[in-house]
Amino acid sequence: MTTQTRNEVLLEGLALAAPEWSHENHGTQFYRFFLQVPRLSGTPDVLPVLLPDTLLPQAAAAGPLRVRGQLRSFNNRTGVGNRLVLTVYAQEIAPGDGESCNLIRLSGTLCKPPVFRRTPLGRSICDLMLASPRRYGRADYLPVIAWGQLAVQASRLQVGDPLALEGRVQSRSYHKVTDSGTEERVAYEVSMMHWMDAVESDTP
């Protein structure tokens, strides 16, 4: 049994609106919508979902949607400077069963030094950047945040070290100071819940 890179996302939540056209690539039309996934804290994650036109009928179903796919990244060069944009790329969409879900299993290689810090209340945080290889020589660059003892352990990693984890995809609002004033923006990241020991090639 060989190991391979893993990038698996499973979400269940409510679509906030019908999918809207996003772009065309190699003859395929892609659409985008936002999925609201409840959190235990009460504040939901609102996550962008990108889907090919072949999945539009499934995305039109009423009620909760269950989305299976991958977390993808690309550089948005439309503004000043490059900005990493994350989206969930849907490979399957089906009606949900009413049980909210937000799960990602992810592996790759650390591509930046860990940044360890503490909150004003003293809680440990570690910011990581994981390169998860994709087909055709491409890779997704995915920000990961670890808390508590996981943060302490992750802070000891070095660039080039392999990392396999299980967590959730979360949205986070923040304020960005620009030349025109302060803007409210939303960042997306993987909140790490625990390590995964192995990545198996026969995972469904």
Residue 74 has which token pair?
Answer: 């690309």
The answer to whether the beta carbons of residues 9 and 68 sit under 8 Å apart is: yes
Residue ranges of domains in the chain, CATH in brackets: 7-102 (2.40.50.140), 105-195 (2.40.50.140)
Check pLDDT > 90 for residue 183.
Answer: no
Task: Report angle CA 178, 183, 184 to the nearest 5 degrees.
Answer: 145
Contacts of 32 (CB under 8 A, 6+ apart): 19, 20, 21, 22, 48, 49, 50, 51, 87
* Per-residue pLDDT reduced to its tens digit, 71-84: 999 876 555 545 78
Query: How large a percentage of the chain has pLDDT more than 70?
Result: 91
Percent of the chain beyond pLDDT 90?
71
- Sign (positive or negative) of CA dihedral 164, 162, 140, 170: positive
Q: What is the mean pLDDT of residues 66-71?
A: 98
pLDDT digits (tens, 9 = 90+) for 34-61: 999 999 888 899 999 999 999 999 998 8
Average pLDDT for 159-182? 90
Residue 23 has pLDDT above 80, yes or no: yes
pLDDT tens, residue by residue, 109-165: 999 999 999 999 999 999 999 999 988 888 999 999 999 999 999 999 999 999 999
pLDDT band at 62 (very low <50, low <70, confident <90, very high): confident
- Per-chain mean pLDDT for the chain: 89
- pLDDT classification of 174: cutoffs 50, 70, 90: confident
Which pLDDT does position 122 carry in this prediction? 93
Amino acid 97: pLDDT: 92
Q: Quick one: pLDDT at residue 204? A: 31
Residues 6+ apart with CB under 8 A from 43: none
**For position 203, what pLDDT does the model report?**
34
